[in-house]
Structure 1
Amino acid sequence: MNKLAYTVFVAFIASMLTLIAVHRLVPEQEPGDGEARAGITAAELARHDSAASCWKAIDGQVYDVTAYVDAHPTDPEVILAWCGRDATEAWRNKRPGVPHSARPGPSAGISGWASCRIGRPGGGSQGKKDQ
């Protein structure tokens, strides 16, 4: 019985050490990371500021929401006003003091947003247009 318990204990420890080693050696990936790029510059983000190509930075991630412009529940101008720049403020404050939506958004990592995620901002401040 002691041999069996010892063998099970050694197998358990070996399994745990393997899991720890794999976790440390394999880089973590977020949903949608397959083709996400790091370092999208403010200038590159600012070039995508129209209905033809609408990119937004929200909570430290850049999303291509071009396909969503027509599906947005308000007038396209509302969503287009934030294209090509950091839209975190718009996401968090639909109206002053009112959160954007009760539905999960980019921060929740839902699959719809993950498929729109194209990278992370970097290389300077976010592109901003005059309001």
Structure 2
Amino acid sequence: MRRLYLSATLIFWLLVTAFWAGSLWLPPAEKNAAIAVDKSISPTELAKHKAPENCWMAIRGNVYDLSAYLPEHPSQPDILLPWCGKEATDAYNTKTKGRPHSPYADELLVKYRIGILASGKP
């Protein structure tokens, strides 16, 4: 029984060490995501994405595809729909009621970022 315990413990720690060593060779996922999302999106292109199933918004110079997030938003999706396809920084910063979004909301936005808003008018 003692031999089984020692063997299982040794195998466990060898696997933990292997996973840790393997993670050292992989590049961090955040760096890969940052490289992929530096696409410049024009205001004209942004304006084409104004439907609930295809909802892009520009917030603080970045463009986000919030289509998948609409059903998950804590309030009704109808609050977000008027901002689809538009620059929505003021609405985001004030929740259109004078209250800022939480730091958690800022962190959540990162995963929906698809590019940066190019200068110019639609």
Same structural fold, with TM-score higher than 0.5 when normalized by the shorter chain: yes
TM-score bracket, normalised by the shorter chain, equals 0.5 to 0.7
TM-fit CA distance, 1:96: 3.8
CA contact 2:90–2:96 (8 Å) conserved in 1: no
TM-fit CA distance, 1:34: 3.0
Q: Distance in 2 between matches of 1:37 and 1:117?
A: 9
What fraction of aligned residue pairs are identical, expressed as a percent? Answer: 34
Q: What letter corresponds to residue 117 of structure 2 in structure 1?
A: P
| Cα root mean square deviation, aligned | 2.2
Alignment: residue pair count: 93
For structure 1, the 5+ residue unaligned runs are 1-28
Aligned to 1:70: 71
Q: More helix by proportion, 1 or 2? A: 2
Aligned to 2:102: 102
Aligned to 1:9: none
Q: Deviation digits for residues 87-116 of structure 1, max 9, x if unmatched?
A: 1111111144222x224333xxx3x42221
Q: What letter corresponds to residue 124 of structure 1 in structure 2?
A: G
Please, what TM-score do these two structures have when normalized by structure 1?
0.62
Please, what TM-score do these two structures have when normalized by structure 2?
0.66
Q: What letter corresponds to residue 34 of structure 1 in structure 2?
A: I
For structure 2, the 5+ residue unaligned runs are 1-29
Aligned to 2:110: 114
Q: Distance in 2 between matches of 1:61 and 1:33?
A: 12
Q: Deviation digits for residues 5-26 of structure 1, max 9, x if unmatched?
A: xxxxxxxxxxxxxxxxxxxxxx
CA contact 1:105–1:113 (8 Å) conserved in 2: yes
Q: What letter corresponds to residue 75 of structure 1 in structure 2?
A: Q
